Amino acid sequence: MSKQDKPNERKFRPVLHALTANPGAEMMRYAQGKDDIITLGQGEGDAPTPDFICDATAKALKDGKTFYGPVLGSHELRQSLSDYYERIYNLGIPSSRVFVTSSGSTAMHLSLAALVDKGDEVVAITPIWKNLLGAVELTQATTRQVSLDCINNEWVLDLDKLFAAINERTKIILIVTPSNPTGWTASREELRAILDFARERGIWVLSDEVYGRLVYEGIRAPSFLDVAKEDDLLLVVNSFSKSWAMTGWRLGWIVGPHEAEAKIRDVALYNKLCPPTFTQYGAIAALEEGEEFLKSQLRLWHANRDLVVERFKKMGNVQMSYPKSTFYAFFKVEGEDDCIALTKRLIDEAGVLLSPGSAFGKEATGYIRLCFAVSKERLNEALDRIEAVICKHE
Ligand SMILES: Cc1ncc(COP(=O)(O)O)c(C=O)c1O
Among 28, 235, 242, 325, which is best to mutate for testing ligand 1, by the most ligand atoms less than 8 A from CB? 242
Q: Looking at the domain that runs over 67-290, which CATH code has it been given?
A: 3.40.640.10
**CA 392 to centroid of ligand 1, rounded, Å:** 35
Alpha helices by DSSP H, the chain: 7-11, 14-17, 23-31, 51-62, 75-89, 104-115, 130-139, 159-164, 188-201, 224-227, 258-271, 279-289, 291-315, 339-345, 376-390
CB distance 100 to ligand 1 below 6 Å: no
Q: What is the pLDDT of residues 376-385, one digit of tens each?
A: 999 999 999 9
pLDDT value, residue 363: 84
Task: Indicate the residue type of 128.
Answer: I
Distance of CA 376 to the CA centre of its chain: 24
For the chain, the distance separating the N- and C-terminal CA atoms, rounded to the nearest angstrom, is 57
Nearest-CA neighbor of 286 among 301, 271, 297? Answer: 297
Largest Cα separation within the chain, whole Å, is 65
**19 Cβ contact list (under 8 Å, min separation 6):** 134, 137, 138
**By C-alpha distance, which of 356, 372, 390 is closest to 127?**
356
Half-sphere exposure of 136 (CA within 13 A, CB side): 24
Closest atom of ligand 1 relative to the 43 alpha carbon? 14
Distance 360 CA to ligand 1 centre (A): 13
Ligand 1: does its nearest atom lie under 6 Å from the Cβ of 176?
Answer: yes
- The answer to whether residues 193 and 166 touch, using CB atoms and an 8 Å cutoff, is no
User: Does any ligand 1 atom lie closer than 6 A to the CB of residue 43?
Assistant: yes
Pick out the chain residues at pLDDT < 70.
1-9, 393-394
In the chain, list all ranges with CATH 3.40.640.10: 67-290
Q: What pLDDT is attached to residue 365?
A: 87
Rounded to 5°, angle at Cα 236 from 232 and 240: 155
Task: Tell me the pLDDT tens digit for each residue of 198-209.
Answer: 999 999 999 999
For ligand 1, say whether the CB of 238 is within 6 Å of any of its atoms: no
Q: Which is it for strands 368-371 and 328-333: parallel, antiparallel or unpaired?
A: antiparallel
- Judge whether 249 and 279 are in contact, CB under 8 Å: yes
Kindly state the DSSP code that residue 20 receives in the 8-state scheme: P
Ligand 1 mean position, distance from CA 239 (Å): 7
C-beta of 121 in contact with ligand 1 (< 6 A): no
User: What is the 186 CA–ligand 1 centroid distance (Å)?
Assistant: 18
What are the beta bridge partners of residue 43?
none
pLDDT of residue 393: 57
For residue 48, cis peptide bond before it (omega within 30 degrees of 0):
no
State in Å: Cα 43 to ligand 1 middle: 8
Give the pLDDT of residue 2. Answer: 54
Q: Mapping DSSP to helix (H, G, I), strand (E, B) and coil, where does residue 174 land?
A: strand
- What kind and span of H or E run contains 154? strand 154-156
- Which residue has a Cα nearest atom 8 of ligand 1? 104
Cα(177)–Cα(185) distance, integer angstroms: 5
- Report how far ligand 1's centroid is from the alpha carbon of 48 (Å): 17
Q: Is the CB of 180 under 6 A from ligand 1?
A: yes
Amino acid at 195: L
CATH code 3.90.1150.10 region(s) in the chain: 3-48+292-388
Identity of the residue numbered 214: L
Strands 234-239, 252-255: pairing kind = antiparallel
Q: Which atom of ligand 1 is nearest to the CA of 106?
A: 11
CB 95 within 8 A of CB 78: yes
Pocket test residue of 105, 106, 272 for ligand 1, highest count of atoms within 8 A of CB: 105
Q: 326 C-alpha to center of ligand 1: Å?
A: 12
Task: Using the atom order of ligand 1, give the atom closest to the CA of residue 239.
Answer: 10
Distance 136 CA to ligand 1 centre (A): 15
Please identify, by atom number, the ligand 1 atom nearest to the C-alpha of residue 251.
Answer: 10
Q: Is 274 within 8 Å of 99 (Cβ atoms)?
A: no
| Ligand 1 contact, 239 CB (< 6 A) | yes
How many CB atoms within 10 Å of residue 146?
Answer: 24
Q: Which of 179, 249, 246, 229 is nearest to 207 (CA)?
A: 179
Q: Is 233:204 a contact under the CB 8 Å cutoff?
A: yes
CA nearest to 331, candidates 127, 216, 182: 182
Is the Cβ atom of 249 under 6 angstroms away from ligand 1?
no
Q: Ligand 1 pocket, 212 CB below 6 A?
A: no
**Whether the CB of 323 sits within 6 Å of ligand 1:** no
| Fold classification of 3-48+292-388 (topology level) | Aspartate Aminotransferase, domain 1 (3.90.1150)
Does residue 102 line the site of ligand 1, with CB under 6 A?
no
The residue whose CA is least distant from atom 7 of ligand 1 is: 104
Query: Is there an atom of ligand 1 within 6 Å of 236 CB?
Result: no
CB 354 within 8 A of CB 343: yes
Q: What is the pLDDT of residue 26?
A: 93
